[in-house]
């Protein structure tokens, strides 16, 4: 098991390197640059060139890539760039005198909190709904749960989010329209500061979390239902019933655990999608998360910010998949990694 | 005693008509009301998208600044209570007009062109690439299979959404360079003529074949052990012939079902890319662009979000029901 985890983590290195290389080259190939205009005014080429030289954007691409990944000492730089492997994400080209790591430290925790809560909501809503639908198969409960699931799968968050704002926040006035209840100086760099643990935080979180999480909840409900229906017909469930176990024990202890394996399979992608897919929800609810920086930096050609955000997303994705693979072994002891 | 008739050879008994697997599946599909209604909806939407100019006489890009935000009377219930004080009521536009005075019905129907084209083209591209890749990998097996599947694993770990965003940003930037020489110039011109749709197809289709290739490979792996493949081998059929004549017809059903179930994802992706400004080019209407523009005036004119939102959700709902129906029809065992 330990060797498996180590091997998997070693597999991350080439993946992350390729993500970095591919996206780095793609970004730098974009026509136009970060300094070609200030506002509406075009800068003269000589001024642009001198600013770009200051950020070493005039170097050949391979040199910039080396400087970004492992630092610029080896290729004759002054040690301005320490390289991403030493935790230096460089300086933002748009937000002057701000390190990318500072910007990301302020914005990524918000996206992460939003994504985490949406994942929890998806599980808490989806699994019970699927279980109830499966246990009452072909009853009206089953049909309405299935319909509800297909319905929420069909309403994307860029539809659901404005609808929630319009109905719950604007018409009914129950919850705030926009914003996020936690500011920087996060607990452990991720969680909201204890000072922010209050009703406002929850009020601000409810709508975006709901808008983000329901589609995944619907997917989980459908998968749980299908998987539980399959498991419940297995021989060992009949054996468990035959030896006189209570139905509740049969379902919760014997059937549910095995039926959750396919559910766990999609949890990794779901978590990654929810954390990284907050662009729309953040924009509609005016939340200062990482999604906003990500989209804006594409247009601003803010290469260091863009590649920093991309790397964080990639790391979240590969680790989510690793956790999923490890949890298989816990759910199904027949699965062994050697 | 002479036996003239064998038992069971009763001529009057109805002989069950021999039907192919696909005909059987189609009959099962017809019994599924939700799937049939969905199919009718999709066909009707496709027809209205094709004949958008006939149905709505307004040009989707034509601005009428004297009628901006015009709302027909019947939409009053969607607006806030004080709407009487500020809204411009006019029955000129059946589904209201946006903040630039463009007809929302025309824009919605022209937007359907984008969503449906993306659905069809992305599905076809990913089906073709995924099936070819997966079946070759599964059929050849051994180290080739191992190598080809490692590539798939590798791509799976790639942050897909981000790659699409960057690819689209790249395509949009080169489309603006006005470089009209050579093959690239021809492609760029074609893309501009299509309102930016060509690059959208490429970006979405090129990156979505991965899941399909895994399904195709799994199907081929289980089929290639079967007797009929061995028989074809024994009769000296070439690999190409076995794959195209014996394996593909048997696996195409499940693959089409999987592809139909993937279509909502493509429609969402297009809407998302348009929402963040990386979809089709500006005057071309897309549901994602319409929602993103409507959100800015959500407080006063929620109707401008609701119109494209309802169409987007209904279309995806229809594809979901159709996909479920197809799956149940092709594989009745899965329905249980």
Helices of type H across A136-260: 140-154, 157-164, 199-231, 235-242, 247-249, 256-259
- For A332, the enclosing helix (H) or strand (E) is none
Q: Which residues of A touch B298 (CB under 8 A)?
A: 162, 165-166, 170
Output the six-digit token pair for A281: 């929800």
Percentage of residues in chain B having pLDDT higher than 90: 3
With beta carbons less than 8 A apart as the criterion, state whether A45 and A58 touch: no
pLDDT range class, residue A121, cuts 50, 70, 90? very high
B194 in contact with A at a CB cutoff of 8 Å? no
Q: Quick check: helix, strand or coil at residue B284? A: coil
Percentage of residues in chain B having pLDDT higher than 70: 89
Chain A contacts in chain B segment 304-323 (CB below 8 A): 305-306, 309, 312-314, 316-317, 320-321
Please report the DSSP string for A192-206 in residue order.
PPGGG-SHHHHHHHH
B33 in contact with A at a CB cutoff of 8 Å? no
The DSSP bridge partners found for residue A95 are none
Instruction: Average the pLDDT over A91-113 and give the result.
Output: 81
Q: Which residues of B touch A321 (CB under 8 A)?
A: 157
Which of B149, B166, B266 to mutate against chain A (most A CBs within 10 Å)? B166
Helices of type H across A55-178: 61-70, 100-135, 140-154, 157-164
Say what the pLDDT of residue B52 is: 78
Q: What is the pLDDT of residues B120-160, one digit of tens each?
A: 888 888 899 998 998 888 888 888 888 888 888 777 767 77
pLDDT tops 70 at residue A276: no
- For B251, the enclosing helix (H) or strand (E) is helix B248-275
pLDDT tops 80 at residue A82: no
A313 in contact with B at a CB cutoff of 8 Å? yes
Q: What is the pLDDT of residues A224-245, one digit of tens each?
A: 888 888 888 888 888 888 888 8
pLDDT range class, residue B16, cuts 50, 70, 90? low
Is this prediction's pTM over 0.80? yes
Output the six-digit token pair for A109: 């925790």
Which residue among A14, A165, A317 sits closest to B159, beta carbon to beta carbon? A317
* Among candidate residues B64, B290, B270, the one with its CA nearest the CA of residue B161: B270
Output the six-digit token pair for A232: 């419940």
Kindly report the nearest CA distance between residue A194 and chain B, in angstroms. Answer: 33
With beta carbons less than 8 A apart as the criterion, state whether B269 and B136 touch: no
The C-alpha angle A101, A115, A320, rounded to 5 degrees, equals: 80
Distance between CA A32 and CA A198 in Å, rounded?
Answer: 45
The DSSP bridge partners found for residue B143 are none
Query: From the centroid of its chain, how far is CA B176?
Result: 27
ipTM of the complex: 0.79
The C-alpha angle A29, A33, A37, rounded to 5 degrees, equals: 155
Say what the pLDDT of residue B40 is: 92
Q: What is the pLDDT of residues B246-288, one digit of tens each?
A: 888 888 877 888 888 888 888 888 888 888 888 787 778 888 8
pLDDT tops 50 at residue B335: no
Counting beta carbons within 10 angstroms of the beta carbon of residue B192, is it exposed (0 to 12), middle (13 to 18) or buried (19 or more)? middle
Distance between CA A277 and CA A157 in Å, rounded?
Answer: 10
Q: Quick check: helix, strand or coil at residue A115? A: helix
> For A77, left (φ over 0), alpha (ψ -120 to 50), or beta?
beta
Kindly report the nearest CA distance between residue A158 and chain B, in angstroms. Answer: 7
Contacts of A232-235 with CB under 8 Å at 24 or more apart are A232/A134, A232/A259, A233/B336, A234/A258
């Amino acid at each position: 098991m330990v060797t498996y985890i180590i091997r998997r983590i070693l597999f991350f290195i080439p993946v992350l390197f390729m993500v970095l290389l591919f996206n780095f080259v793609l970004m730098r190939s974009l026509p136009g640059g970060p300094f070609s205009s200030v506002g509406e005014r075009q800068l003269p080429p000589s001024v642009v060139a001198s600013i770009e030289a200051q950020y070493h954007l005039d170097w050949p691409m391979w040199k910039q890539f080396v400087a970004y990944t492992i630092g610029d000492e080896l290729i004759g730089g002054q040690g301005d760039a320490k390289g991403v492997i030493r935790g230096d994400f460089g300086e933002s080209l748009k937000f002057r005198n701000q390190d990318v790591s500072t910007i990301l430290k302020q914005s990524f925790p918000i996206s992460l909190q939003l994504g985490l809560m949406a994942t929890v909501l998806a599980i808490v809503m989806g699994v019970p709904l699927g279980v109830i639908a499966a246990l009452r198969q072909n009853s009206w409960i089953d049909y309405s749960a299935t319909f509800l699931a297909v319905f929420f799968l069909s309403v994307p968050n860029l539809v659901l989010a404005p609808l929630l704002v319009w109905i719950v926040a604007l018409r009914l006035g129950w919850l705030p329209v926009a914003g996020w209840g936690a500011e920087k100086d996060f607990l452990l760099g991720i969680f909201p500061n204890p000072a922010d643990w209050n009703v406002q935080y929850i009020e601000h979180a409810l709508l975006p979390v709901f808008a983000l999480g329901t589609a995944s909840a619907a997917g989980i409900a459908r998968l749980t239902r299908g998987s539980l229906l399959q498991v419940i017909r297995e021989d060992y469930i009949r054996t468990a019933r035959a030896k006189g176990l209570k139905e509740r024990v049969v379902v919760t202890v014997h059937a549910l655990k095995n039926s959750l394996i396919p559910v766990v399979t999609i949890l990794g992608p779901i978590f990654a999608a929810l954390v990284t897919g907050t662009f729309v929800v953040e924009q509609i609810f005016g939340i200062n998360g990482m999604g906003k920086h990500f989209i804006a930096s594409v247009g601003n050609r803010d290469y260091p910010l863009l590649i920093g955000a991309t790397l964080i997303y990639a790391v979240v994705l590969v680790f989510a998949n690793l956790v999923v693979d490890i949890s298989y072994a816990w759910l199904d002891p027949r699965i062994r990694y050697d | 005693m002479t036996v003239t008739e064998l038992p069971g050879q009763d001529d009057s008994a109805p002989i069950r008509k021999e039907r192919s697997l696909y005909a059987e599946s189609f009959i099962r599909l017809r019994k599924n009301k939700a799937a049939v209604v969905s199919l009718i909806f999709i066909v009707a939407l496709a027809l209205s998208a094709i004949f958008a100019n006939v149905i709505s006489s307004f040009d989707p890009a034509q601005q009428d600044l004297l009628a901006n935000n015009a709302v027909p009377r019947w939409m009053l219930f969607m607006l806030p209570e004080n709407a009487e004080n500020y809204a411009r009521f006019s029955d000129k536009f059946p589904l209201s007009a946006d903040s630039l005075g463009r007809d929302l019905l025309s824009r919605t129907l022209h937007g359907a062109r984008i969503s449906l084209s993306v659905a069809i083209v992305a599905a076809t591209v990913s089906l073709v690439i995924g099936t070819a890749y997966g079946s070759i990998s599964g059929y050849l097996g051994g180290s080739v299979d191992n190598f080809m599947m490692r590539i798939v694993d590798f791509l799976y770990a790639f942050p897909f959404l981000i790659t699409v965003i960057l690819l689209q940003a790249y395509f949009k930037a080169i489309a603006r360079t006005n470089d009209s020489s050579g093959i690239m110039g021809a492609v760029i011109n074609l893309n501009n003529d299509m309102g930016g749709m060509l690059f959208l197809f490429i970006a979405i289709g090129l990156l979505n074949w991965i899941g399909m290739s895994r399904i195709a490979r799994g199907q081929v792996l289980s089929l290639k052990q079967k007797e009929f493949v061995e028989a074809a081998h024994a009769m000296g059929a070439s690999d190409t012939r076995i794959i195209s004549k014996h394996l593909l017809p048997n696996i195409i059903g499940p693959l089409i079902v999987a592809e139909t179930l993937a279509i909502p994802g493509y429609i969402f992706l297009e809407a998302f890319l348009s929402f963040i400004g990386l979809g089709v080019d500006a005057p071309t209407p897309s549901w994602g662009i319409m929602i993103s523009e409507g959100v800015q005036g959500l407080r006063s004119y929620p109707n401008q979000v609701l119109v494209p939102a309802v169409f987007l959700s209904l279309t995806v709902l229809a594809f979901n029901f159709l996909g479920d129906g197809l799956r149940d029809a092709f594989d009745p065992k899965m329905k249980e």
